[in-house]
């Protein structure tokens, strides 16, 4: 085979890729949402995507693909061609699949298009609970070991990480963790008195707090939120939390690794502009999410840092199936 | 006065009226096709109505919801494939009626009764929402568990023939429901390390296979048999018939509203419980249950439509969804800049009354669309079997695929279809399998939550049951219903009442 011939093939291949990128999108794009309809991820994706579509000049057909904590959707997109026509719209969970024994893939197989926003955890209590703030709750736990029921959403969920943080900072707490399907059902259970305390995402709890249906104990952040200025940050009770905060679940759009760079650039641009739309930012603000809208190296760095911190926190609390070390997840600061 | 104006908003703007009508019409057909669900349609509508105002968007969604819940009964009666899980009980008596040539009458009664159930649901929503919501909130995990046990005891009413076979079928259903990663701890159960088992077995795929495919296979045996001519008079039920079933439909609507308002349960469980209730209170049905009893249509259809109003109760008063559809509608309200939660009723009472008005309108549209075109529909049953069998198979495959866009669901569906055929062949009832799958999670999750909350101490668990009035009532019902199905009860009855009469 002559060199010239090889060169022609390479040139053809090159022009073919260039053609796809120039025409992109030339057909409908599939957006696979990792979580069910009506949930936080679903709401975020369905409200940002129409604005991104306008910039992109194409259609993104979104569908919910649930199951196995989102692993089914992740594996589906990871197995799709890396041509930018299949997007993964997901939350933070995949970063913990490996250490939780839920799967062998995570976002390292993907290129982040945009990490849109991050949530802030807040500790809320039943409105009739015999304590009014974080310090009161700690005193109650000390006085009544093994009695306080704290809501959870299974290993790797936001409540499990917050609880792991509390165990690390305050020493092992003697409480009962009652598992629910998600923070929605758990907050319902909180109002009915089936559980006493729930670490939830601010956006999910905010309306209940405003109506007095539940009591806020502390915000899991380094400073109070302007949404609820009266709720103290947990660092004001114990400085030890500052090591781990700010921390929160996040939402992002991803494509499989190997997607042509200019397609990634086009998508990133579309979602970056879509995320600036005032309708979207005001929705995120009212639900108590912190806008991030980062992409490229910045997003990669964020993901790495998030994974290191959370994985080791859970591992040290004894909640993982495998050590983060096995998957090359370095201890933060190392 | 403001309230009345808010309810009537829908009539002030013709396009809203049109949207509710269009939604209801579309909903009936989406509901009728197995695999296409209202949940799916409403979630697609969120993107579709993104740039609309909030009232038109909600109008369309409410229409689809109301129409869809009713539409599930269509295919259940005509083809024995429930279009939605809440129409399973409807198939059990509706399909035998169609086979006797009374499909038109069955659809007629179903439509009027769905309207009636819907009406009761909306009235309770309008008049007693805060009260019902508070009641629904008092349900603790142990109460949900007792409710599930109560549901399991329905196996008796859902099995025709051998009770032992019914119990076997129910237990199989519970096992099917447990397959996959356990949602509380993510431990794999019955997965045999196979990727395909990890996500669990789609319940809709099981339902479509067991009802649709097994029916098609069964009909292959008499493919040359002439189909039944359908009587097409008496489609709209007479006032006398409606009055006869009024007491029963009031009872079953109440069951529907309450089960619908509970955040953990929905129309499917409501319909099955109502069916069971009808079987218990109807002493001498004209036609036996399972062979085409009218009561067996009235009960589930009033209950599942009453559950629609019920599901809106916790959504509107507390911001807690009553089922999957209302969960999506909460998301839609967020996107449209409202803050659904306990404050919505206080800050924006207009929204509440608008939804009440829209539901009411959708209910009327459902009655109109439901009663027109029945004649054409009954022709489906009159088609030659060589046409209808491939049609059922096609519908089943499309439906199973549409649930999650997963080809593996189609395999499951076909597998359960063949399995269901043999179950029928050997006289095992299929209803209890579906009941088991529906109740599996409810029972399993809530039992574990209840016992974990009591520090895994059975003593404390029973102490909780005895000290809570609600749990005590549920627990007593479980015991009573259980005992009433054993020979002990009959013996006791003859000893007490037998002596008294002699």
Assess whether pLDDT exceeds 80 at residue B129. yes
Q: A181 and A205: one domain?
A: yes
Tell me if B141 and A194 make a contact (CB, 8 A cut-off).
yes
What is the value of pTM for the model shown? 0.84
For chain B, percent of residues with pLDDT exceeding 90: 36
Answer whether B186 sits within 8 Å of A69, measured CB to CB: yes
> A235 lies in a domain?
yes
Residues of A in contact with B322 (CB under 8 A): none
Q: Which domain CATH number covers A67? A: 3.40.190.150
Is B474's pLDDT higher than 80? yes
- Residue to substitute from B342, B403, B445, interface A, most A β-carbons within 10 A: B342
Instruction: Please check whether residues A69 and A153 belong to one and the same domain.
Output: no
Spell out which residues of chain B touch residue A282, defining contact as CB-CB under 8 Å. 337
Q: In the listed set A189, A222, A243, which residue is the last one of a domain according to the structure?
A: A243
Say if A160 falls within a structural domain. yes
**CA distances, A173 to each of A150, A235, B140 (Å):** 11, 18, 25
d(Cα A225, Cα A245) in Å, to the nearest integer? 14
CB contact under 8 A, B327 and A38: yes
- Does the distance separating the beta carbons of B455 and A176 come in below 8 Å? yes
- Cβ of B334 within 8 Å of Cβ of A43? The answer is yes
Average pLDDT, chain A: 86
pLDDT band at residue A7 under the 50/70/90 scheme: low
Indicate the pLDDT class of residue B498, thresholds 50, 70 and 90. low
- Which chain A residues are Cβ-neighbours of B198 within 8 angstroms? 67-68, 71-72
Are residues A68 and A149 located together in one domain of the fold? Answer: no
Tell me, yes or no, whether A253 and A231 share the same domain: no
Q: What six digits make up the tokens of A276?
A: 């600036």
- A104 CA: distance to closest CA in chain B (Å): 12
Asked if pLDDT for residue B35 goes beyond 80, the answer is: no
If asked whether residues A238 and A275 sit together in one domain, one would say no
Q: Is the per-residue pLDDT at B330 higher than 80?
A: yes
CA separation for the pair B368, B132 (Å, rounded):
30
At B91-106, the pLDDT tens digits run: 989 999 988 888 888 9
Min Cα separation A5/chain B (Å): 42
Q: State the ipTM, two decimals.
A: 0.82
Q: What is the domain count for chain A?
A: 2
Q: In sequence order, what are the beta bridge partners of A126?
A: A214
Mean per-residue pLDDT of chain B = 87
Distance CA B176, CA B407 (A): 19
A193 and A181 belong to one structural domain: yes
- Is A13 part of a structural domain of the chain? no
Rounded to an integer, the average pLDDT of A290-319 is 89
CA distance B209 to chain A (A): 21
* CB-nearest partner of A65 from B46, B331, B404: B404
From B321, B339, B449, residue closest to A207, measured CB to CB? B339
Band (pLDDT 50/70/90 cuts) for residue A13 is very low
Half-sphere exposure of A75 (CA within 13 A, CB side): 16
A238/A273 same-domain check: no
How far apart CA A314 and CA A156 sit, in angstroms, is 8
Contact B471, B149 (CB under 8 A): no
Q: Tell me which chain B residues have a C-beta less than 8 angstroms from the C-beta of A181.
A: 183-184, 445
Interface probe, candidates A37, A100, A205, chain B, greatest B C-beta count within 10 A? A37
- Same-domain status, A101 and A202: no
Residue B502: pLDDT band (50, 70, 90) is very low
Nearest-Cα residue of chain A relative to residue B179 = A68
- pLDDT exceeds 80 at position A22: no
Residue A151 inside a domain? The answer is yes
Residue B346 pLDDT exceeds 90: no
Show Cβ contacts of residue B61 under 8 Å, excluding neighbours closer than 6 positions: B23, B42, B45, B49, B329, B332
CB atoms within 10 A of CB A131: 18
pLDDT at residue A68 tops 90: no
Query: How far does the CA of residue A173 sit from the closest CA of chain B (Å)?
Result: 15
Instruction: Classify B182 in phi/psi space as left (phi over 0), alpha (psi -120 to 50) or beta.
Output: beta
Question: Across the interface, do A37 and B43 touch by the CB < 8 Å criterion?
Answer: yes
A159 and A112 both lie in a single domain: no
CA distance B437 to B331: 28
Contacts of B329 in chain A (CB under 8 A): 38
Q: How far is CA B87 from CA A113, A257, B33, B94, B245, in A?
A: 43, 45, 12, 10, 19
Q: Are residues A109 and A133 in the same domain?
A: no
Residue A210 counted as domain residue: yes
For residue A56, pLDDT over 50 is answered with yes
pLDDT for residue B245:
92
Q: Is residue A79 part of a domain?
A: yes
Domain termination residue (choose one: A243, A265, A298):
A243
Nearest to B259 by CA among B307, B315, B299: B307
pLDDT digits (tens, 9 = 90+) for B148-196: 998 888 887 777 778 889 899 999 999 999 998 787 777 888 888 887 7
Secondary structure (3-state) at B28: helix
- CATH code at position A166: 3.40.190.10
Residue A304 lies in a domain: yes
CB within 8 Å: A67 and B198: yes
Contact check, Cβ <8 Å, B453/A208:
no
Q: Does residue B116 have a pLDDT over 70?
A: yes
Cβ pair B199:A282 closer than 8 A: no
The residue with greater pLDDT, B233 or A8, is B233
Contact B85, B399 (CB under 8 A): no
Buried b / exposed e across B297-316, counting CB within 10 Å, b at 16+? bbbbbbbbbbbbbbbbbbbb
Print the domain residue range for A323.
23-119+249-327
Residue of chain A minimizing CA distance to B341? A207
Choose the final residue of a domain: A211, A243, A275.
A243
pLDDT of residue A8: 53
Closest CA to A292 of A113, A103, A82: A113
Question: Is residue A158 a part of any domain in this protein?
Answer: yes
pLDDT at B195: 74
Q: Identify which of B71, B267, B320 has the alpha carbon closest to the alpha carbon of residue A38.
A: B320
Q: pLDDT value at position B242?
A: 87
Q: Are residues A93 and A32 in the same domain?
A: yes
Pairing of strands A149-152, A176-179: parallel
What would the two tokens of residue A316 be? 């040290």
Q: How far is A296 from chain B (nearest CA, A)?
A: 27
Mean pLDDT of B397-404: 82
Instruction: State the pLDDT at residue B248.
Output: 94
- Residue A211 has which token pair? 């109506």
Q: Is the pLDDT of residue A19 over 60?
A: no
CB hemisphere CA count around B445 (13 angstroms): 25
Among A176, A179, A211, the residue with its CB nearest the CB of B341 is A211
Over the stretch B289-326, which tens digit does the pLDDT of each residue have? 888 899 999 999 999 999 999 999 999 988 888 888 88
CA–CA min distance A282, chain B (Å): 8
pLDDT at A9: 52
The reply to whether A52 and A155 lie within a common domain is: no
- Distance (Å) from the C-alpha of residue B51 to the closest C-alpha of chain A? 9
- Of residues B480 and B50, more confidently modeled: B480
Distance, CA of B81 to CA of B397 (rounded, Å)? 12
- The pLDDT tens digits of the residues spanning A167-184 come to 988 888 899 999 887 778
């Amino acid at each position: 085979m002559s060199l010239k011939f090889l060169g022609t093939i390479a040139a053809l291949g090159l022009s073919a890729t260039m053609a796809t990128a120039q025409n992109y999108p030339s057909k409908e794009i599939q957006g696979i949402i990792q979580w069910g309809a009506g949930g936080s991820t679903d709401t975020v994706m369905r409200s940002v995507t129409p604005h991104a579509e306008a910039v992109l000049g194409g259609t993104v057909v979104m569908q919910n693909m649930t199951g196995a904590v989102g692993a089914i959707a992740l594996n589906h997109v990871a197995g799709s061609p890396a041509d930018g026509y299949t997007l993964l719209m997901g939350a933070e969970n995949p970063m913990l699949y490996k250490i939780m024994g839920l799967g062998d893939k995570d976002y390292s197989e993907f290129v982040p298009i945009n990490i849109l926003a991050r949530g802030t955890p807040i500790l809320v209590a039943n409105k009739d609970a015999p304590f009014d703030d974080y310090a009161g709750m700690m005193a109650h736990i000390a006085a009544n070991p093994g009695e306080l029921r704290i809501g959870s959403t299974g290993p790797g969920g936001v409540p499990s990480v917050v609880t792991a943080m509390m165990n690390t900072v305050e020493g092992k707490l003697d409480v009962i963790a009652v598992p629910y399907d998600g923070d929605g059902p758990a907050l319902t259970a909180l109002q009915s008195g089936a559980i006493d305390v729930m670490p939830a995402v601010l956006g999910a709890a905010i309306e209940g707090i405003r109506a007095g249906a539940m009591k806020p104990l502390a915000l899991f952040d380094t400073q109070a939120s302007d949404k609820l200025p009266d709720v103290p940050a947990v660092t004001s009770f114990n400085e030890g939390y500052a090591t781990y905060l700010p921390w929160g679940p996040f939402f992002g759009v991803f494509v499989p690794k190997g997607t042509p760079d200019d397609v990634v650039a086009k998508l990133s641009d579309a979602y970056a502009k879509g995320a600036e739309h005032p309708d979207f930012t005001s929705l995120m603000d009212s639900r108590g999410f912190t806008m991030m809208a980062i992409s490229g190296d910045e997003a990669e760095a964020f993901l790495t840092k998030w994974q290191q911190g959370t994985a080791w926190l859970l591992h040290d609390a004894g909640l993982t199936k495998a050590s983060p070390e096995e998957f090359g997840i370095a201890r933060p600061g190392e | 006065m403001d309230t009345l104006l808010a309810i009537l908003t829908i009539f002030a703007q013709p396009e809203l009226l049109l949207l509710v009508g269009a939604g209801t019409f579309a909903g009936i057909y989406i509901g009728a096709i197995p695999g296409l669900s209202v949940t799916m349609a409403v979630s697609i509508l969120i993107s579709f109505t993104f740039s609309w105002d909030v009232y038109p968007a909600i109008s369309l969604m409410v229409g689809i919801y109301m129409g869809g819940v009713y539409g599930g009964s269509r295919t259940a009666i005509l083809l024995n494939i429930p279009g939605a899980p809440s129409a399973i009980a409807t198939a059990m008596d509706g399909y035998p009626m169609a086979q006797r040539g009374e499909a038109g009458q069955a659809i007629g009664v179903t439509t009027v009764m769905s309207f009636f159930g819907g009406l009761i649901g909306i009235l309770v929503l309008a008049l007693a929402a805060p009260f019902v919501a508070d009641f629904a909130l008092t349900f603790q995990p142990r109460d949900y568990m007792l409710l599930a046990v109560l549901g399991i005891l329905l196996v008796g009413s859902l099995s025709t023939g051998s009770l032992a076979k019914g119990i076997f079928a129910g237990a199989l259903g519970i096992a099917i429901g447990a397959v996959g990663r356990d949602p509380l701890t993510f431990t794999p159960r019955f997965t045999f390390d196979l990727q395909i088992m990890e996500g669990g077995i789609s319940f809709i795929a099981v339902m479509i296979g067991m009802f649709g495919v097994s029916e098609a296979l069964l009909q292959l045996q008499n493919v040359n048999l002439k189909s039944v001519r359908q009587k097409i008079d008496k489609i709209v039920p007479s006032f006398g018939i409606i009055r006869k079933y009024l007491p029963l439909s009031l009872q079953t609507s109440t069951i529907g509203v309450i089960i619908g308002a509970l955040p953990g349960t929905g129309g499917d469980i409501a319909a099955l419980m109502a069916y069971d209730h009808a079987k218990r209170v109807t002493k001498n049905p004209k036609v036996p249950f399972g062979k085409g009893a009218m009561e067996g249509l009235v009960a589930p259809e009033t209950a599942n439509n009453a559950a629609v109003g019920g599901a809106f109760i916790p959504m509107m008063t507390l911001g807690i969804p009553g089922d999957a559809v209302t969960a999506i509608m909460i998301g839609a309200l967020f996107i449209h800049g409202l803050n659904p939660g306990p404050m919505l009723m206080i800050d924006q009472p207009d929204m509440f009354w608008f939804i009440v008005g829209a539901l009411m309108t959708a209910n009327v549209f459902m009655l109109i669309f439901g009663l027109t075109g029945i004649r054409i529909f009954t022709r489906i049953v009159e088609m030659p079997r060589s046409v209808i069998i491939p049609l059922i198979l096609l519908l089943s495959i499309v439906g199973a695929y549409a649930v999650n866009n997963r080809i593996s669901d189609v395999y499951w569906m076909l597998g359960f279809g063949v399995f269901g055929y043999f179950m029928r062949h050997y006289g095992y009832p299929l209803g209890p399998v579906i009941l088991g799958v529906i109740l599996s999670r409810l029972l399993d999750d809530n039992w574990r939550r209840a016992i974990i909350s009591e520090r895994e101490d059975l003593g404390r668990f029973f102490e909780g049951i005895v000290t809570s009035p609600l749990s005590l009532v549920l627990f007593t019902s479980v015991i009573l219903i259980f005992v009433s199905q054993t020979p002990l009860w009959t013996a006791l009855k003859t000893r007490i009442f037998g002596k008294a009469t002699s």
